Structure 1
Amino acid sequence: MSPSIRRRLVLLVLASIVLVWGVALITSYGQAKREVSEWEEARLAELAQILALLDQRNLTTLANARIDVREEEKGGEPGANDADDDDALPRDALFQVRKANGEMLAGSPQLHALNAWDLPVPPASGTQDVTLGGQMYHSFTLRDTTLGHIVRVFEPANTRSDLVSGVASRIARPTLIALPVLAVLVWFSIGLSLAPLKVLSGAIRSRDVNRLEPVDIGRAPTEVRPLVDAINLLLSRLLHSLERERAFTADAAHELKTPLAAIKVQAQVALAEPDTALQRLAMERVVQGVDRSARLAEQLLLLARLDVHEKLSTVPLKPAVVAKDALLANERNAQQKDIRVTLTGDLRAEINAEPVLIGILLDNLLDNAIKYGQTGGSIEVAVEHAADRVQLTVRDDGPGVAPGDLDRLTNRFFRATGNQATGSGLGLSIVARIAEHFGADLRLGQGLGERGLSVEVSFPAYAAVR
């Protein structure tokens, strides 16, 4: 059986009610017991005072009769119900009345059978429990100094609980009757309160896979609203992710279409051209087109992995060391354009990152700087340690980018106007995504001599991370 919030709430509510009612019943029973005990003692004292006022003749007559001290007798009142009688057993009070010198004036004959006729009299007035004939009795002694009488009254103790049990029964009976009714009411009340969850479940279940707009169930309770908001936030993220993937797929298809079409044209030229030199030139262009398509595919795959990958494990590394490797990898391209590349700054600064991704970041920055830099120009790679940040900057002195295009350079497949160099428009997108992955800040600005482009990536320093 699957867990049920409704069932759990009903059980918890009913258990709480039963617990509270149980405590209340026990407390009421104890209180009723004390009240009845006090009332019984007062009644015995009152009976003793009455007996103290009687003369010897009346006392003798009363001693030979039964003194039934029950507050109710079967059939004692018109319409009385015997089943509701609080004192179903007989309750005969016994008594002794003596003079101050101890002479017996009158007493209940039953005291002889109980071997209590000559029972010692307590020295002071008050209540006392005594055992007579193996049975417990409540006793009250009254020393009346005015009349000179000593009155002692006895009452069986075993029937005193009748009244208390009746009180407890009258308290518990409505509770036992009301509990099933209350359970039904609680069940339906909780079901009514949980109805918005059913509405929400139905709204989500009826959704088509392409419907990702926010869920609206009307006026939701305060407890359900966070769940609705969380679902709507998730749907918004899914919608944004799908839109981004659709745009990425469309742009990727468009970017791949151009080099593939060029490869096809060059291949057709090579097949149709009888001149061997022209055939070789066409095949070289085919190879260049394949290389461009392969690099584009690699960049697309890298972006896809960065989009879905969880945080990678990181190690302390020196950006300057990674930069040297990137310089060596791009040295040939720089020499072809006679570009001078220098590495400056704090070569011992460390960051917490993944070496391969930092290498890809630097490789893209250097490739862009060389590709779009001017022939015979300069490129500067600087590593600076300031406070708790390590800044990695690549500057060139090429034609630069129009101020209006700076904010769009990190968009995928965006290429600044006026650039003639071949490219996919993914290099800075990859740089921006890697920087975001490691919590770094990316800033774009003017390059060397107020020309070209400057790309600054500010990482948290390793010491600050540690």
Structure 2
Amino acid sequence: MSTTATTTSTTRPGPLPSLRMRVLRHVRSPLVWTWLLGTVFMMALANHFTQSAFDRALLDDAYAIASHLRADDEGEVALQLTDSELKAALFDQAEYVYYAVYRSDGSQLAGEPLPLLPWDESEPVSYRETLYNGQLVRAVALRSAVGEQQLSIVMMHTTRVRDSLIQHLFLYAAIPQLTLLVLLLWWLHHRIGQDMAPLAALQRSLSRRDAQDLAPIPPSAPATTREIEQLRQTTNALLARIADNVEAQREFAGNVAHEVRTPLAGIKALADYGLGHADPAVQQQQLQRISDSVARASHLVDQLLLLALSDEASAVQLAPVAAAEQVQQAVLRHWDAASRARIDLGAEGLDTAEAEQLRIAADANLLAAMLDNLILNALRYGGQSVTVALQAADDGGSVELAVIDDGPGMSEEQCQAAMQRWQQGPSGQSLGQGAGLGLAIVAKLAHLQQARFQLAPRSEGPGLRASLVFSAVQNRAPGEP
């Protein structure tokens, strides 16, 4: 029995190019293509004008031959040039020049036996390129009438000088342009590197930074572009948010360690005391006290978690919330606790049709937590009556949710102090309950929802009025569910 092992190799991507090289690549390609197209266009233009100049010289030679064609008295046409005059007229130091004169019937009148080419008879002058004696030549055919005869003067000229001139034009024009292109690419590479220097400095600063260092990144070099400076500022903003979150976590951990240690120690002491007594009545009493302590510790942990959530959140998503429904549900959640404590818990402002249509801009879950904190405080430290009131402003721009009790109340200064963390009013200090976080949590959550939280003595009689003022949103249309 044989076992075949298959090795799967994962192809790793190669190293990514640097931003400088990517930018230079994007710039280099258009520049090279521009140089190539410019060179091709320049060569085509140079070839056109060079060809035109040589064609004009070739045509002048044809006209010179045509000007010496004469007809005698009998109508016979002859070339009135001696051999020496013909050589002087067609002399060229670097090229070979050939000529021929043909009658209309194709017979040759003078010159060399040049091949007959397919000329355009409708044009007085025609140009062609062809091979003659193994060489590339440029030919021109000139139609001319001498007497009553139609003649064709054909001139052929080799193209060595023309080709050499075009090559020199290419070298003298393309090579300097290529040199300028290389210098331009080098300059771009240097300038792009200078512009990217702050980005590289930012990268080095972040790579050398310790994980615990959340201080802002200072500008190591003058910013060359707005985008790089914005990147540094955005990174600093992110570091600031991370530092705030880390600080909130440290504070939360410290709060938990500080506040939970005491109830846990009390629970252990109660359990040890109950275990040390054989009397069932004492054990039952201690179990009840342990249950109460666990409930208080659980409430404290919930408060600490809610406080940590409010510290970490920078904004919440607000949506239309039915204010009357939230008040009604909050009262129902605490109805049993109020009944056991023989406290009259009720609501006001919910029985009208207008109240059912009220909508506020809030987060439903956070609003429920705020109402729970205010109602629990009122049940714990208030008197014998707690009322949750719902009221809209006269202009319809805001809605107030207020928790009102008839307890001993507090002064204006004590109300302001009670909204700070770890601060309790006189009733809380005397009862020894709570941690002084509830009102601070409500104030923080109200700020997150762009609402106002106010704690003040009642205007009529003893007690406190804790009110939440939210912005009202468009009411629903009649008949809308």
What range is the shorter-chain TM-score in? 0.7 to 0.9
Query: Hey, what's the Cα distance between the residues in 1 that align with 2:122 and 2:287?
Result: 133
Deviation at 1:21, TM superposition (A): 0.9
Residue 25 in structure 1 maps to residue 39 in structure 2: yes
Which residue is 1:80 aligned to? Answer: none
Which residue is 2:213 aligned to? Answer: 211
Deviation at 1:241, TM superposition (A): 1.4
Residue 443 in structure 1 maps to residue 445 in structure 2: no
SS in 1 for 2:216: coil
Query: Hey, what's the Cα distance between the residues in 1 that align with 2:417 and 2:60?
Result: 104
Partner residue of 2:329 out of 319, 325, 331: 325
What letter corresponds to residue 382 of structure 1 in structure 2? L
Query: Hey, what's the Cα distance between the residues in 2 that align with 1:393 and 1:143?
Result: 119
Closer, same or farther: CA 183–340 of 1 in aligned 2, 3 Å: closer
Residue 67 in structure 1 maps to residue 90 in structure 2: yes
Closer, same or farther: CA 344–92 of 1 in aligned 2, 3 Å: same
Deviation at 1:363, TM superposition (A): 1.7
Query: Hey, what's the Cα distance between the residues in 2 that align with 1:60 and 1:37?
Result: 29
User: What's the CA shift string for 1:407-430, capped at 9, x where partnerless?
Assistant: 665554343466435222232344
Closer, same or farther: CA 407–164 of 1 in aligned 2, 3 Å: farther
Query: Hey, what's the Cα distance between the residues in 2 that align with 1:299 and 1:36?
Result: 93
Which residue is 2:289 aligned to? Answer: 285
Which residue is 1:379 aligned to? Answer: 387
Query: Hey, what's the Cα distance between the residues in 2 that align with 1:387 and 1:62?
Result: 115
Closer, same or farther: CA 132–240 of 1 in aligned 2, 3 Å: closer
Which residue is 1:452 aligned to? Answer: 464
Which residue is 1:344 aligned to? Answer: 349
Residue 424 in structure 1 maps to residue 435 in structure 2: yes
Indicate the RMSD between aligned Cα atoms, in angstroms.
4.6
TM-score (norm: length of structure 1): 0.73
Structure 2: gaps of 5 or more residues? 1-13, 70-78
Q: Does the Cα contact within 8 Å between 1:139 and 1:155 map onto a contact in 2?
A: no
**Higher alpha-carbon deviation: 407-416 or 340-349:** 407-416
Output aligned runs, 1:5-154, within 5 Å. 5-44=19-58, 46-47=60-61, 60-63=83-86, 67=90, 69=92, 73=94, 90-92=95-97, 94=99, 109-110=111-112, 112-115=113-116, 127-129=125-127, 137-139=139-141, 154=155
User: What's the CA shift string for 1:79-109, capped at 9, x where partnerless?
Assistant: xxxxxxxxxxx442537699xxx9xxx9861
Q: Does the Cα contact within 8 Å between 2:370 and 2:445 map onto a contact in 1?
A: yes
Q: Does the Cα contact within 8 Å between 1:69 and 1:91 map onto a contact in 2?
A: yes
What letter corresponds to residue 61 of structure 1 in structure 2? S
Query: Hey, what's the Cα distance between the residues in 1 that align with 2:242 and 2:458?
Result: 42
Deviation at 1:202, TM superposition (A): 1.9
Q: Does the Cα contact within 8 Å between 1:390 and 1:459 map onto a contact in 2?
A: yes
Partner residue of 2:223 out of 211, 220, 225: 220
Closer, same or farther: CA 403–128 of 1 in aligned 2, 3 Å: farther
Residue 394 in structure 1 maps to residue 403 in structure 2: yes
TM-score (norm: length of structure 2): 0.71
Closer, same or farther: CA 367–108 of 1 in aligned 2, 3 Å: farther
SS in 2 for 1:449: coil
Residue 242 in structure 1 maps to residue 255 in structure 2: no
Query: Hey, what's the Cα distance between the residues in 1 that align with 2:173 and 2:417?
Result: 80
Query: Hey, what's the Cα distance between the residues in 2 that align with 1:409 and 1:168?
Result: 90
Which residue is 1:2 aligned to? Answer: 15
Query: Hey, what's the Cα distance between the residues in 2 that align with 1:399 and 1:94?
Result: 131
Query: Hey, what's the Cα distance between the residues in 2 that align with 1:123 and 1:180?
Result: 48
Closer, same or farther: CA 136–341 of 1 in aligned 2, 3 Å: same
What letter corresponds to residue 342 of structure 1 in structure 2? A
Which residue is 1:82 aligned to? Answer: none
User: What's the CA shift string for 1:113-170, capped at 9, x where partnerless?
Assistant: 3358xx999897xx432588997623467999xxxxx995734486655533442343
The count of aligned residue pairs is 431
Identity %: 24
Deviation at 1:456, TM superposition (A): 1.0
Query: Hey, what's the Cα distance between the residues in 2 that align with 1:32 and 1:131?
Result: 18
Q: Does the Cα contact within 8 Å between 1:139 and 1:152 map onto a contact in 2?
A: yes
User: What's the CA shift string for 1:152-194, capped at 9, x where partnerless?
Assistant: 5734486655533442343333455666666566545544443
Q: Does the Cα contact within 8 Å between 1:377 and 1:397 map onto a contact in 2?
A: yes
Query: Hey, what's the Cα distance between the residues in 1 that align with 2:35 and 2:270?
Result: 92
Q: Does the Cα contact within 8 Å between 2:360 and 2:399 map onto a contact in 1?
A: yes
Structure 1: gaps of 5 or more residues? 74-89, 145-149
Q: Does the Cα contact within 8 Å between 1:48 and 1:141 map onto a contact in 2?
A: no
Closer, same or farther: CA 380–248 of 1 in aligned 2, 3 Å: same
Q: Does the Cα contact within 8 Å between 1:44 and 1:153 map onto a contact in 2?
A: no
Closer, same or farther: CA 397–151 of 1 in aligned 2, 3 Å: farther
Closer, same or farther: CA 52–443 of 1 in aligned 2, 3 Å: same
Closer, same or farther: CA 128–377 of 1 in aligned 2, 3 Å: same
**Higher alpha-carbon deviation: 206-215 or 129-138:** 129-138
Residue 359 in structure 1 maps to residue 368 in structure 2: yes
